[in-house]
């Protein structure tokens, strides 16, 4: 497929257009891969999920999905990938729990860029190990979308990226695949319409963005298991409360960050040193700039109350009021 979106290409805004796109892609994919196997790293993000659903429709069990749990997923996330794809869509899904591998490599590493690079490289290692175990796989599917193409054109023109993002590019040379990238001319909103037309759950298709390195860049500094667990629990409470209070879909991205720092507090009349949970809730159009959302105080109080009473190790909750710039959306 040519990687420049023709001006004449109609924006996919409804199911009719989405179904037309799906029919065309199903034919194109069958044409491209024949009866070969196709491998896909299925993170559970919108793009890889929609590619998976599209390929399952086109080639069924010829698609082999690999879901790598790097131990930095949000609460319940890997379970939902398994539920939707293995149980719901009958996908050929390999689940790899690589938590120990990742957390081992990340031990005592505090530099944000080093952490990102370790997570990205280890992801490729784990995925490559799985790929080598499989026979006869000639193709690799990727959830590349049009903004990714535009971004790489910008980078090729010498504009520097602020953070190193990770994807499955850069696999070792013994693993040479031909790429299948059926979404590469679509914008995100079109990917979501296609996802819903393919029958994926609304929550998965409208899932807020989640960085490749996952909670690894929200558990600031050197990651420890107890702080990571506290972050995961606090984040789950935040998401649950946003859901209950109708904020999902109104706030673009919301999450908890836990810095590597304790403060003095009090619990049961005793000194209680604990971590702080920082709430970040931003709105943006393109993630290049971001504004802060005014979350009603009553909701913030409820979230604070729940986090400090339900999450072991956290004694304070803070709200980050910094727009981008100067803050980036993530803290690392």
CA atoms of 117 and 109, how far apart (whole Å): 11
Residues that contact ligand XMP, how many (by CB under 6 A): 14
Minimum Å distance from CB 162 to ligand XMP? 6
- How many Å apart are CA 277 and CA 257, to the nearest integer? 6
Spatial separation of the C-alpha atoms in residues 116 and 119, rounded to whole Å: 5
* Minimal distance, residue 327 CB to ligand XMP, in Å: 8
Segment 153-192, which members bind ligand XMP (CB under 6 A)? 162-163, 165-166
Tell the smallest beta-carbon distance from residue 287 to ligand XMP (Å): 4
> If phi over 0 gives left and psi between -120 and 50 gives alpha, with beta otherwise, what is residue 254?
beta
DSSP state of 324: B
Shortest Å distance, C-beta 169 to ligand XMP:
12
Among the residue ranges 148-156, 224-232, 297-305, 324-332, the one whose residues contact ligand XMP (CB under 6 A): 324-332
Which two tokens mark 114?
């080093």
Return the range that interacts with ligand XMP (CB under 6 A); candidates 70-78, 85-93, 292-300, 323-331.
Answer: 323-331
The helix or strand, by DSSP H or E, that contains position 60, with its residue range, turns out to be: none
CB of 292 to ligand XMP, least distance (A): 13
Question: Quick one: which of 171, 287, 299, 318 contacts ligand XMP (CB under 6 A)?
Answer: 287
Interacting span for ligand XMP (CB under 6 A) from 27-35, 94-102, 223-231, 321-329 = 321-329
- Angstrom CA distances, 45 to 232, 291, 299, stand at 17, 23, 27
How is residue 20 written in tokens? 């037309």
Burial class (CB in 10 A: 0-12, 13-18, 19+), 245: middle
In the complex with ligand XMP, which residue's Cβ is closer, 221 or 265?
Answer: 221
- Considering only residues 196 through 255, tell me which ones interact with ligand XMP, judged by CB under 6 A: 209, 211-213, 253
48 lines the binding site for ligand XMP (CB under 6 A): no
C-alpha–C-alpha distance, residues 273 and 265, integer Å: 6
Which residues of the shown chain bind ligand XMP in the complex (CB under 6 A)? 162-163, 165-166, 209, 211-213, 253, 287, 324, 328-330
């Amino acid at each position: 497929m040519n990687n420049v979106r023709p001006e004449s290409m109609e924006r996919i805004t409804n199911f009719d257009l989405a179904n037309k796109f799906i029919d065309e892609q199903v034919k194109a994919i069958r044409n491209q891969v024949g009866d070969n196997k196709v491998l896909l790293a299925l993170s559970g993000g919108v793009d890889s999920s929609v590619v998976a659903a599209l390929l399952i429709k086109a080639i069924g069990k010829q698609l082999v999905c690999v879901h790598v749990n790097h131990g930095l997923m949000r609460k319940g996330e890997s379970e939902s990938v398994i539920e939707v794809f293995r149980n719901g869509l009958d996908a050929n899904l390999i689940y790899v729990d690589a938590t120990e591998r990742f957390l081992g490599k990340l031990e005592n590493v505090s530099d944000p860029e080093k952490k990102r690079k370790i997570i990205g490289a280890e992801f490729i290692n784990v995925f490559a190990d799985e790929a080598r175990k499989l026979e006869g796989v000639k193709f690799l599917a990727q959830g590349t979308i049009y903004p990714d193409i535009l971004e790489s054109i910008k980078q090729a023109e010498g504009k520097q990226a602020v953070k190193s993002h990770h994807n499955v590019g850069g696999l070792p040379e013994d693993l040479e695949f031909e790429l299948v990238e059926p979404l590469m001319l679509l914008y995100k909103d079109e990917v979501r319409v296609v996802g819903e037309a393919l029958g994926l759950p609304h929550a998965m298709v409208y899932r807020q963005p989640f960085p490749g390195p996952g909670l690894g860049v929200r558990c600031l500094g050197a990651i420890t298991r107890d702080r990571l667990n506290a972050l995961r629990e606090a984040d789950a409470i935040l998401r649950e409360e946003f859901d209950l209070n109708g904020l999902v879909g109104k706030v673009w991205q919301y999450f908890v960050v836990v810095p590597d720092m304790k403060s003095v507090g009090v619990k049961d009349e005793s000194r209680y040193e604990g971590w702080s949970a920082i709430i970040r809730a931003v709105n943006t159009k393109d993630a290049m700039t971001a504004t802060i959302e005014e979350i009603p105080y009553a909701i913030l109080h409820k979230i604070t109350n729940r986090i400090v009473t339900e999450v072991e190790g956290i004694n304070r909750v803070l709200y980050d009021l910094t727009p981008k710039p100067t803050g980036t959306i993530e803290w690392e």
